[in-house]
Each structure stands twice: as structure tokens, then as C-alpha cells.
Chain A
Amino acid sequence: MLSAWRQMTPQERRGAKTGYLALSPWMVGFVIFYAFPILATFYFSLTQWTLVDPPVWIGLDNYVRMFTRDPLFISSLKATTLFVALSLPLKLVLGLMLALLLNLKIPGMNLFRTVFFIPAVISGVAVSLMWIWFLQPDTGVVNTLLSYIGVRGPYWFWDLNWALPSVAIMSIWKVGGAAIIYLAGLQNIPAHLYEAAEIDGAGKWRRFWRITLPLLTPTLFFQLIIELIDAFKIFTEAFVITKGGPLKATYFFLYYFYEEAFRNFNMGYASALALFLLVVIMGCTVFVYRTSGRWVFYEN
């Protein structure tokens, strides 16, 4: 750092100083709100800690257990991975389709945009409870509607095969949030490109593949990372609705963490789990970032 500093001209140094000064609030915040709790979590992960008694140093035992003899770790990893694999592509594709619709220039679109955005902004326990009702097999809305057309609907959250898809449906319902970001990306695409393509006789489909999609890849890239992080953090649905069941079908990683930390008084192990999740999310993000050069196109 010092050598880099010495090579700078006085003017560059002044700029750098201003830059650091501008960043200083974030740096302080980083130390307090991120570095400190993560370091503390790392320390806890090397201990056995019941939360209510002082932590006892046990070295790497928690990690050894996690990787060698914990069937629940495997279950929770499996449920979470399945959820990410199911909901992430669906949300990306459906979000884009919705955004294309919302991008049409027809009167009243503002209202529609608000309507689709509503699910993305309401959250919390009430929404989860509402979904319990909504997908309730007996009196729930969906199965009642299905019964009108003579279909016996599944047990949704309480069905071995439907529990995970049900949670995915809940998250897809919130696709409006993603659509808004795509919408912003769509509106960024210069109109003259479309006009030029139209003159060349390109059809709508062709224009989508040759112009819209390539120019939207930066937005897609951002969205992919945000949704990836979000999907890995799935928790509330399991916490309020399924309790991880049936047969661990929705035993998501953060739910396992929560149970260990706050229900089973196993904070040391829970800390190891949490750090593992952090590493997985970072790993996936770095992977996506690395591959982005091949499929993300920037204008000019």
C-alpha cells in the first residue's frame, strides 16, 4: 500500500484521501456491524456453548461433526439446495416475463405495476399464516377452486412431494419485486436499437433474442446474485408453516440453524452452521461472478 501511495502524484493523493474520507462511515459500520459479529461467530463456532452458560473451547469438533456425522446437516443442505434449484430459475424467468408484460405501453399500467408489486412488499408472519389458509387442503381457496373443476387438490404443505413446491410457489408469488428491477433494465435499452432492427425486418421474437436479452444480461446477472443470496436465506416459511416437515422436506438450513441456536441451546454448533452457509453463499456468488464474463454483455 505504501509503495502505491508513494507512486501517486500529490493530486492523486488528495483524491485518494477524499475517497477514504467518503468511505469512512461505511468502514466504521463494517467493523461494528459485520466484522465484529462474524469474528464473534467464528469464535463461538470453536466452542460448545449452551447460550446460557459460558462457552467451552472445543477446537474444530463442531466442524468435524458437521462434515462427518450429522444426518440433519445433510437433510437441511438437501432441502435448501432443492429449494434454490426449484425457485431460482422459475423466479428469474417468470420475473422477466412479467416485466416484459409490464413494459408494454398501454394505459393503466401503473396500477398493474402496483398490483404485482404488492406481494413483494408484504411480509412477516401474517403472510405465512395467510398462505397456510390459502393452500389449506380442506377449506383453502386453491383446493376449493380445484374442486369446482372436479380436481382433488394435494395436501400442499403437508404432502411429502408438494411441501417444497408449495414454499417455492410462495416465493414466486413475490416475483413482482424482481420484475421491477427487470423493468428498470428494459427501459434502459435504447429505442433506436429496436427501430433499426425493425427496419431490418426482424420480428418480435428475433428482437427479443438479439437485442432485449443480451442487453438485459447485466440486470439478469445482478438479479441472479440477489435472488441466489435470498433463496439460500429461506427461513420464515419453515419457521411459521412447516416446521421443517414433513419428513424434513422443508428442513431449510437457516431453520436448522435456528433450532440448534435457540431451541436446542447449541449455539456453538449453530455458529459453525451459520459460517458454513456464509461460505456457501459466497462461493456460489464468486462462481456466478467468474462465469459472468461469458454471458453478461455491456453496451458499448
Chain B
Amino acid sequence: MRTDDRALSIQQQLRRSAAQRRRRRLVGHALVYALMIFLALLFMLPIFWMASTSLKAPREIFAWPPEWIPSSPQWGNYAEAFGKYPLARYMLNSAILVVANIVGGLVSVPIIAYGFARFEFPFKHVLFLLMLSTMMVPGHIKLIPMFWLYQKLGLIGTYWPLILPAYFGNPFFIFLMTQFIRTIPRELDDAARIDGAGSWGILFRIIIPLCRPALTVVVVFTFVWVWNDFLEPIIFLRDWDSYPISVGLAFFQGRYSVEWHLFMGATLVSILPILVIYFFAQRHLIGGLASIGIKG
């Protein structure tokens, strides 16, 4: 009896503490949500302001006190922005550049990283450090010499200067992919080798299919970088029909005034593709970035 009593009371206690824990977790969740929502609002405030401005009439933009939500939203601003400037064309150009760069990254990065991750050869460590150090070179340094070279090659005004580098491997991606491949057990390689696969067969049949998370990082980051790149298209392109959206947005800054309402709206539209890509890729993305922390 006594032992039963005790068992019962323990059970009750357990049940009570479970309920308590549930309640505490609920309160905890509510607090976390409140904090997250507050932070999210804080982070979104600039974006919200852009959206609000994009719906204002030109005269309202500089009114004081400022209007948080325009009393009569000018949805026509968006149509005006797209009618006045070939934004769709610019976004298409950006998309072409993005795809070409992504293909370049997907082709070159796994091969190079495979070399670093799976083979031993003299000067490997030095080469790896050299590769990492190229991340530190400010882009501005390269402008004049590269312009000169591309001019000699007749590539100015074409997309080649904006695409070619991707086919020779971006150092950040090579680093990431090398780390990722190191997490793949070598036993898989050995098993495939016993089945008669050569070095390249292992890469294409074993390694690359397992690298999907890291390849997602290549895709998403390339997308973001190429979509936002401003300096190089300006220097290397000529025809304004060929400009990507990042440069196309600069046309909203006129000689004498900025069409703020159109500019803000166009900027918002221009970031939508990035958001969509990110939202759908993020689960893989985090898996792909996880290998950063392993010992190199």
C-alpha cells in the first residue's frame, strides 16, 4: 500500500511537473514570439518605409509630419516605374547573368574542391592558403588591369567579363566545398574504387550527388552576389539595354532629381526574386554551410 501510494504520488508529481513544463514552455514560446516579432518589425522598418514611400505621390514624400501609411496609395507608381524604364528587361538580363554564373560555379567548384579535399600533392597547403587569400583582394584593385585585358580581347560590352571568372572557381565556394567533401566518409570512395570507378567517376557518381547542400549554397550565394553586383557591369558593359537590374536602378537618379517613389518601388520589386529563392532553399542552405566549422 505504502509503496503504491508513493508510486501514485510520484506519478501525480510527474504529471504535474509535465503540465508545469508545458505551461512554462508555452509562456516561453509566447515570450520568444514576442521578441522575434519585435525584432522582425525593427529589421523590417526600413523596408516598410521603402514600401510606404513607393506608394506615395511625389508631393507627399517630403511632407511633414511624415505619413506612415499613405492616405491614398498610388499603386500606379509601380506601373509607371515599369513603363518608364525597361525594368523587366533589366531583370531578364540579371537572370541571364545569374544562370551563367551559377552554371560556372556548379561546373568548376566541385572539381577544384575535390582536388583539395581528396588528393595529396606537393604545395597543397600553400595553394590552399593562396586560394583563401584571394578573398581579401578588394574588387577595385582589379578594375583597370582587367578592363585593359578585356579590351584587348574584345570582350568589353559583352557579358563575358561578368561570366568568365565563375568558371575558374570562386575562392569562398571552393573553401566551402572542400570542407564539405571532407565530411563525406572516404569509405564511400574506396567502395566505389573497388567497384572499378576511377577518380572522376567517384567525383561524379559519389561526391557530387552527396554535395547537394553545399551546391545549394553556391546557387543561392551566386544568385545574391550577381544580382547585386554594381561595379563590374558598369565598367564592362556598354549598351544600356544590356544592363542588369542593379545598374538599371541607377537610372532613377536623374541629373537633377531622384524619382523617389518610383525608385523605392523598383528596388523592392528587384529584391523579390532573391527572397523567393532564399525562402525555398534555406533548409539546404543551412546544411551546406554547416561544414564551415569542421577542421580544415
What is the interface of chain A, defined by CB distance below 8 A to chain B? 1, 4-5, 12, 15-16, 18-23, 25-30, 32-34, 36-38, 40-41, 44, 51, 98, 101, 104, 106, 110, 112-119, 121-127, 129-131, 133-134, 138-139, 141, 144, 173, 176, 180-181, 183-185, 187-188, 215-216, 218-219, 222, 226, 229, 233, 235, 254, 257-258, 261, 267, 271, 274-275, 277-278, 281-282, 285, 298
Contacts and interface: CB of A to CB of B under 8 A. Distances in A.
Interface in B150-198: 165, 167-169, 174
Nearest to A120: B224
A174 to B, nearest CB: 10
Given A37-B142, A112-B40, A184-B290, 8 more contacts: A16-B119, A22-B115, A26-B131, A33-B168, A121-B274, A124-B249, A131-B46, A134-B46
Interface in B33-67: 33, 35-36, 39-40, 43-47, 49-50, 53, 62-66
A297 to B, nearest CB: 10
Contact of A28 (B35, B168, B282, B293): B168
Contact of A30 (B119, B131, B270): B131
Interface of B: 29, 32-33, 35-36, 39-40, 43-47, 49-50, 53, 62-66, 108, 111-112, 114-116, 118-124, 127, 130-131, 133-138, 140-142, 144-146, 148-149, 165, 167-169, 174, 199, 224, 228, 230, 246, 249-250, 253, 258, 263-264, 267, 270-271, 274-275, 278-279, 282-283, 285-290, 292-295
Contacts, number: 234
A254 B267 CA distance: 26
Contacts of A27: 127
Contacts of A18: 115, 119, 199
A23 B165 CA distance: 15
Contacts of A219: 292-293
Interface of A is mostly: helix
B141 A37 contact: yes
A77 B120 CA distance: 41
A208 B248 CA distance: 47
A144 B66 contact: yes
Contacts of A4: 122
